[in-house]
Amino acid sequence: MRNSTKKILGVTICILLALFCGLAPLVKKGASGKSYVANAQGFGGNIEVTVYVDGDTITDITYEAPDETPSVGGVAMSNLKTQIIEEQNSNVDVIAGATYSSTGFLEAVNAALNEAGVVADGSNGTKTVAEDYEGTADIVVIGGGGAGMTAAISAAEEGKSVILLEKNSILGGNTARASSGMNAAETHYEEEQGVEDSVQSFIDDTMASGKNMNDPELVKVLAENTSGAIDWLDSEGIELNGPLATMGGLSANRTHRPVDADGNIIPVGSYLVDKLSARMDELGIEVHTNTAATEIIMEDGKAAGVKATGSSGNNVTIHADAVIVATGGFGGNMDKVTEYRPDLEGYISTNVTTASGDAIDFLGDLNADFVDLDQIQLHPTVVPTDGTLVGEALRGDGAILVNKEGHRFFNETGTRDEVSAAEIEQPTGNVWLIVNQDMYEGSAVISKLEKGGYLVNGDTLDDLAKAMEFDADATAALKETVETWSGYVASGVDEDFGREIGAVKTDLSSGPYYAVNVGPGIHHCMGGVKINTSAEVIDTDGNPIEGLYACGEVTGGIHGANRLGGNAVADIVVYGRIAAESAIEYIDK
């Protein structure tokens, strides 16, 4: 099997609870020389690594990581293991999209090697140089995030051969980091949970949030197809059957969320990536990771394939009857961000680094049109130290935001641009998001934040204020703020900021309490390549480019000046399916 070419393998990780919680390695006798055990913190919890050495050679690495997402952190650790053993070098780069899992894994590996006295610098290893590759398929998909995987699966299920190219070494893209849910209207889940909603309300909310800069036809198609998208996900075994939530700017509880086996709410992104990648494996879809598209092949004015570059500089050429571009936005490329928005210089980003905007260049070469490239969203609840995203649904469920003086300062469920602007006006620019034990017990999202070391906590509000380093005045204000908020929840009216109380699940009147420091961070690019309602890429003359389609964050026009939380997942599923359907119709005509 080629180093840079593989079919997605089903990843089944059977793991035990880690036995050791420190970094101090344990030396054991191994089948080949000795083995050394070390531990480090990953994304979800402890990673225990065992490194086997024979003299100065690393012969094997095993690991136990029960809290890492199999399709993201699990695949990243597997890839790093292979690379380290092959190159005999532990000084390798972390994998974009799985930064915390990668960092923890490498930290543990290096701790074990340090105890072994082995310097793994690559001096006695090899590095495989992949060969050039040329392939053919009915459809080639560029990008292995949620939109690309949805498109690839939809096409393969209709009997089309599909090759997918992914720049990163793992699938998922920014979808893997999606934290809250998927907006959809008039679904069977809404009916089952007694939620009154409509397609028109979805349209109205989306247009209002986007300041009416959205393309109304694209929004209409999005809204009309969300219920069908939920049904399609159901048919794929991807159930968003948790308690419906309200995100900022929504007029109904239409955010659909997954739950784990215990009924706890879990992040939608990693759940989707796990399920979609497993389905790609079942369908036998050919995937080339570490492969960056550089050019759309054109023949007689029609898209006819893709040229790309592999990780070792090898050429990858795919000939196809149709091309679907799903490369995501450019929020991980600060040079491009500041090119269109110089005022965002210095902000941290929630994006994977491979969300770099390559398609702006290779689609621009085809005279494709672009819209709203300067519309870049700040998400208001981002950990300022590393860009970790704190899900918006927590605020919908009842979390509040307070400044360093202990006061609420805005409607927490306002639109992202509004809440971010209000935060920037606060004394420090960063604020505290507060939840309590009631919310903790129903949310795997909060427990992951705790395992990641992002939370401070206290049994009482006095204890919490001390952990947040509040002075006496701020502590008194915090206690008054929570008491006032609890009264608003009881009365059903937020007299300070007009926040909708109906979806709130706790009044925060009792502890223990937890808080995370957050602020605005670069999150989503509303602008991108122009498409029509069939997901065809439009050129600067207003005409579709034959055989070329796009879906997901790489496109512009759907979200206008501000995207609603929950609409990105709706976008990738709806327009991922539409892109595939349109490409199939084009091929078959």
Contact assessment for residue 497 and residue 410, using Cβ atoms and an 8 Å cutoff: yes
* Torsion angles phi and psi, residue 537, rounded to 5: -75, 135
In this structure, the dihedral spanned by the alpha carbons of residues 462, 465, 469 and 470, taken in order and rounded to 10 degrees, is -90
Q: Catalytic one among 395, 416, 563, 577? A: 416
Contact assessment for residue 416 and residue 480, using Cβ atoms and an 8 Å cutoff: no
List the beta bridge partners of residue 172: 145
Contact assessment for residue 44 and residue 328, using Cβ atoms and an 8 Å cutoff: no
Contact assessment for residue 493 and residue 501, using Cβ atoms and an 8 Å cutoff: yes
Return all residues near 22 (Cβ < 8 A) that are at least 6 apart. 39
In this structure, the dihedral spanned by the alpha carbons of residues 388, 391, 392 and 398, taken in order and rounded to 10 degrees, is -120
The tokens for 141 are: 């998909």
**Alpha-carbon torsion 228, 230, 235, 236, what sign?**
positive
Question: For 580, what's the count of Cα atoms within 13 Å in the CB-facing half-sphere?
Answer: 25
List the beta bridge partners of residue 457: 514
Catalytic site includes residue 279: no
In this structure, the dihedral spanned by the alpha carbons of residues 300, 303, 305 and 310, taken in order and rounded to 10 degrees, is 120
Q: What is the DSSP letter of 554?
A: G
3-state helix, strand, coil in the chain (%, to 5): 35, 25, 40
Contact assessment for residue 58 and residue 81, using Cβ atoms and an 8 Å cutoff: no
Helix (H) or strand (E) holding 522: strand 513-525
**How remote is the C-alpha of 201 from its chain's centroid?**
26
The tokens for 50 are: 């065992």
First to last CA, the chain: 35
Q: How far apart are CA 325 and CA 370, in angstroms?
A: 14
The catalytic residues are 416
